[in-house]
Amino acid sequence: MGKEIILEAKNINKYFREPVLFHVLKDINFTIKNGEFVSIMGKSGCGKSTLLYILSTMDTDYEGELYLGGDKLTGKHHEELAKIRSKHIGFVFQFHYLLSEFTVLENVMLPAKKLGLKSLQEIEHDAMEKLKLLHIDEQAHKLASRISGGQKQRVAIARALINDPDIIMGDEPTGNLDSHNAQNVMEIFKNLVQERNLSLLIVTHDTDFATKTDRIIEMEDGYIIKK
């Protein structure tokens, strides 16, 4: 069970055609197993975010093949991808992205409401649980625009957790956090991996953070140089 492959990238190549043809990702091959905590490191501009957008199914403009739980994602219709995304993938952006006109709680609840598998009370209960996990439950009823950057980041992590996804992808999710909260997020991630067999793929510049993960993928100029 623990050895099952959850995410697989096969020969992924990506080009930007504007302003000039630019080969961003070059022959990316790797797998992530169930319950694995993987970090991606690399210099700024080496293509980490670009890779993550492809892995998260939001970007479909690439060459190569992508599998999630053995299911080929490449070539699927984007309506279908949206469904897969909401059910199996949690995403934390490089910059905290919340709907500013909604409360913190509503922000966390939205993906679950969209998925529509649970009743409203269950969703609200779960959302509160996730917020408690990240120690921001007391901000639950504030508007998302009225909390600090670090708090937003934690809300975004809570939102990524709400649908109990198979894999969470994070683009520098601790980038805006102080060491105490970064430590806390690290702990939460580790617990999730151990308790729920969740897989994590986290882009980070923080070497301390990276060394605590199971595996580090290092990138340079669009290549993976070390797995």
Partner 1 sequence: MTNWSIILSISKTHLLSRIKQTGVAALGVTFGIGTFIILVSFMTGLNGLLDGLILNRTPHVHIYNEIKPSVKQPIDYYEKVKDGFKIVRSVKPKFTQTKIHNALPLMKQLNDDPEVKGAIPQLKAQIFYVSGSIELGGNLVGIDVKEEVRLFNFGDYVVKGDPSALANYDNGILMGAGAAAKMSLDVGNTVQVSTVSGDVFPLKIVGIYQSGLSEIDDIQSYASLKTVQRILGESRNYITDINVKLYDIEKAVALAQRLEKQFDVTAVDINTANAQFETGTAIRNLITYAVSITLLIVAGFGIYNILNMLIYEKMNDIAILKATGFSGRDVKYIFMTQALLIGLVGGFFGILVGYGISVVIDNLPFETQALPTIKTYPVNYDISYYVIGVVFAMVSTFLAGYLPARKAEKIDPVEIIRGQ
Give contact residues for ligand ATP (rule: CB under 6 A).
16, 18, 22, 24, 42, 44-50, 94
SS3 at position 73? coil
Taking the complex as a whole, the smallest distance from the CB of residue 46 to ligand ATP amounts, in Å, to 5
d(CA 124, CA 112): 9
Q: Are 109 and 162 in contact (CB under 8 A)?
A: yes
d(CA 160, CA 132): 14
* Residues at the interface with Mg ion (CB under 5 A): 49
Query: Of the ranges 21-29, 39-47, 90-98, 126-134, which one interacts with partner 1 (CB under 8 A)?
Result: 90-98
Taking the complex as a whole, the smallest distance from the CB of residue 25 to ligand ATP amounts, in Å, to 8
SS3 at position 87? helix
Q: Are 222 and 12 in contact (CB under 8 A)?
A: no
Residues 132-191 that bind partner 1 (CB under 8 A): 159, 163
Taking the complex as a whole, the smallest distance from the CB of residue 93 to ligand ATP amounts, in Å, to 11
Cβ distance to ligand ATP smaller for residue 52 or 105: 52
Establish if 122 lies at the interface with partner 1 (CB under 8 A). no
DSSP H or E segment with residue 42: strand 37-42
d(CA 7, CA 38): 11
Q: At which residue do the structure tokens 């939001």 appear?
A: 58
SS3 at position 97? coil
Establish if 115 lies at the interface with partner 1 (CB under 8 A). yes
Query: Of the ranges 37-45, 84-92, 133-141, 202-210, which one interacts with partner 1 (CB under 8 A)?
Result: 84-92
Contacts with partner 1 by CB under 8 A lie at: 49, 53, 56, 58-59, 78-79, 82-83, 85-87, 91, 93-95, 97-102, 110-111, 113-116, 159, 163
